[in-house]
Amino acid sequence: MPIPTKEMQQEAERGLAWRREYGRGGTEVGIARARDISNRRNLPIDTVRRMKAYFDRHEVDKEAEGFRPGEDGYPSNGAIAWKLWGGDPGYSWARRIVAAANDDRMGMAMQENLEDRHVQNVEETEDSYIITFAKAMHDQPAEAGNQYDDDDKDKRTEVRTLSRSVEVRAEGDGVKVSGYAAVFGEETRIGSSFTEVIAAGAFSSALQRGDDVVFLVNHAGLPLARTRSGTLRLTEDERGLYIETELDGSDPDVRAIIPKMQRGDLDKMSFAFIPTRQSWDDSGDMPKRTIEDVSLHDVSIVTTPAYAGTEIGLRSLEAFRAEHKQRSQAIRRLRMRSSLLPN
């Protein structure tokens, strides 16, 4: 079982000292984990996976005031909790351990899967590998998987906001809202983690399927309009995803927000989605994610830009890196097998 490093031990001991001094930060689980790390106890792989999951979820805490020395409120509750789990050295260590465990598991699965199959040839094309077996031929393109085991839709939903203002126009007793919820081809920096671009056509499948999309305020509350009832219209053009809706002025919820929209207090458009197809470019200074297809959930008029779900994107990047490595290892194994075959 993996043993925490001395650097992790120092971080955990600092977290425990802060916890005693300030009486805040972290949970009982975090304190127990810090004690394990401080004592450099062997940690089961399931515990290391939970550590990595904690760091993935709470990396956003590093952006808050008080996380770093010299900032007001230092050390913040988030900084104390981060130290308890082993700090930055703990995060790096947990990622390495989990990646190695995944590689081992994948390698065993590949070996078992190919044990009774006679590989005749491995041909590399521009974007796939064609693997030929002695008894049958199968084209098996290597795809970067981004599937999540978590079936909870809310935990897989991400939110993105367009910085441009929407058009709000009074029509009779109601108000017409229109504008782009998303624009193709514009690269956006998502925190300090990665950049992101929406590919042209990313919403085509959702519109063809007829995803039931609702119009909300700040992605919460009762729907003010929806595609299923025909009160919300979504179209995709060469620029992006365009929305139009006429809000009913007799609806008390609508009456409450009309002045805010007309003043510009609510003036940005945002959409919530689950990526169903995406790709990553990890060759530059910062990873770049391209969203190629989505499942749409809602569009909202919002007060401030939102980039919820950054940790979901990071999990996707990690999955891409792990699978890329696993795919390369699998291809090497297959090539070794094919090289042993008689000409």
Q: What is the C-alpha separation between 142 and 26, in angstroms, rounded?
A: 42
Instruction: Tell me which residue of 108, 96, 2 sits closest to 329, measured CA to CA.
Output: 108
Per-residue confidence band for 186, with pLDDT thresholds at 50, 70 and 90:
confident
Span 168-184, mean pLDDT?
77
pLDDT on residue 110 = 43
Task: Give the model's pLDDT for residue 104.
Answer: 53
Beta carbons within 10 angstroms of residue 204's beta carbon: 12
- Strand runs labelled E in 67-184: 119-124, 129-133, 137-140, 158-165, 167-171, 174-183
CA diameter of the chain = 81
DSSP character string of 156-182: H-EEEEEEEEPEEEEETTEEEEEEEEE
List 280's β-bridge partners, or say none: 289
Cα three-residue angle 180-184-185, rounded to 5 degrees: 140
3-state helix, strand, coil in the chain (%, to 5): 40, 30, 30
To the nearest 10 degrees (0 to 180), the angle between helices 6-22 and 28-38 is: 140
The rounded distance, in Å, linking the Cα atoms of 326 and 104 is: 9
Residue 339 burial (C-beta neighbours within 10 Å; 0-12, 13-18, 19+): exposed
pLDDT tens across 203-220, in order? 999 999 999 999 988 878
Mean pLDDT of the chain: 76
Residues 6+ apart with CB under 8 A from 81: 15, 25, 26, 27, 30, 58, 61
* Closest of 54, 53, 34, 56 to residue 43, by C-alpha: 34
Q: Which of 155, 123, 113 is nearest to 326 (CA)?
A: 113
- 188-199 pLDDT per residue, tens: 887 667 788 899
How far apart CA 51 and CA 33 sit, in angstroms, is 9
**pLDDT bucket at 338, cuts 50 / 70 / 90:** low
Q: List the end-to-end C-alpha distance of the chain, in Å, as a whole number.
A: 45
Confidence of residue 33 (pLDDT cuts 50, 70, 90): very high
- Residues with Cβ within 8 Å of 293's Cβ and at least 6 positions away in sequence, in order, are 202, 204, 205, 206, 275, 276, 277, 278
Does residue 18 carry a pLDDT above 70?
yes
Predicted confidence at residue 75, as pLDDT, reads: 94
Answer yes or no: is pLDDT of 298 > 60. yes
Contact 300, 270 (CB under 8 A): yes
Of 58-62, 126-130, 233-237, 260-264, the range with the lowest mean pLDDT is 126-130
Least confident of 26-35, 41-50, 183-192: 183-192
- The length of the chain, given as a count of residues: 343
| Predicted confidence band of residue 248 (pLDDT cuts 50, 70, 90) | confident
The pLDDT of residue 146: 34
Q: Which of 36-40, 66-70, 131-135, 270-274 has the lowest mean pLDDT?
A: 131-135
CA 341 to chain centre: 43
The reported pLDDT for the residue numbered 201 is 94
Q: In the sheet that 129-133 helps form, which strands lie side by side, from edge to edge? A: 119-124, 129-133, 137-140
263-280 average pLDDT score? 83
In the predicted model, what is the mean pLDDT of residues 128-136?
44
Q: How far apart are CA 4 and CA 87, in angstroms?
A: 12
Question: Which pLDDT band, with edges at 50, 70 and 90, does 233 fall under?
Answer: very high
pLDDT score for 39: 93
> What is residue 77's three-state secondary structure?
helix
CA distance 233 to 337: 55
Specify the higher pLDDT residue, 335 or 145.
335
